[in-house]
Amino acid sequence: MRIYRFDEIESTSKFLREKDDIMERDLAIAKVQTLGRGRRGNRWVSTEGAALFSFVLKHDVEIQEDEYMKLPLLVGYSLLYSLKKIEELDYKFKWTNDLYLEDKKISGILVEKIRDNYVIGIGLNVNNLNLEEVKNIAISLREKTGKVYSLEEVIVTIVKDFYSNFQDFKNGKWKEILEEINRVNYLYGKRIDIVTFDKEESGIAGDILEDGTLEVFVGSEIKKYNIGSVHISKK
* Nearer to ligand BTN among residue 55 and residue 169 (C-beta): 55
Q: Is 17 in the site for ligand BTN (CB under 6 A)?
A: no
Stretch that binds ligand BTN, among 8-16, 130-138, 160-168, 185-193 (CB under 6 A): 8-16
Residue nearest to ligand BTN (CB): 108
User: How far apart are alpha carbons 214 and 69 in whole angstroms?
Assistant: 12
- Binding marks (x or -) toward ligand BTN, 83..102, rule CB under 6 A? ---------------x----
* Nearer to ligand BTN among residue 3 and residue 63 (C-beta): 3
| Residue 160: CA count within 13 A, CB half-sphere | 7
Q: Which of 12, 47, 140, 185 binds ligand BTN (CB under 6 A)?
A: 12
Q: Is 110 in the site for ligand BTN (CB under 6 A)?
A: yes
Q: Is 123 in the site for ligand BTN (CB under 6 A)?
A: yes
Query: Which of the 8 DSSP states describes residue 197?
Result: S
Q: Is 44 in the site for ligand BTN (CB under 6 A)?
A: yes
Burial letters 125-149, b for 16+ CB under 10 A, else e: bbbbeebeeeeeebbbbbbeeeeeb
Q: Is 109 in the site for ligand BTN (CB under 6 A)?
A: yes
CB of 172 to ligand BTN, least distance (A): 28
Q: Which of 17, 27, 49, 54 binds ligand BTN (CB under 6 A)?
A: 54
For the range 7-13, what are the long-range contacts, defined as Cβ-Cβ under 8 Å and sequence gap of 24 or more? Answer: 7/31, 7/32, 8/32, 8/33, 8/34, 9/33, 9/34, 10/34, 10/35, 11/35, 11/36, 11/37, 11/54, 11/121, 12/52, 12/53, 12/54, 12/121, 13/37, 13/54, 13/110, 13/112, 13/119, 13/121
Interacting residue ranges for ligand BTN, rule: CB under 6 A: 11-13, 33, 36-39, 42, 44, 52-54, 98, 108-110, 121-123
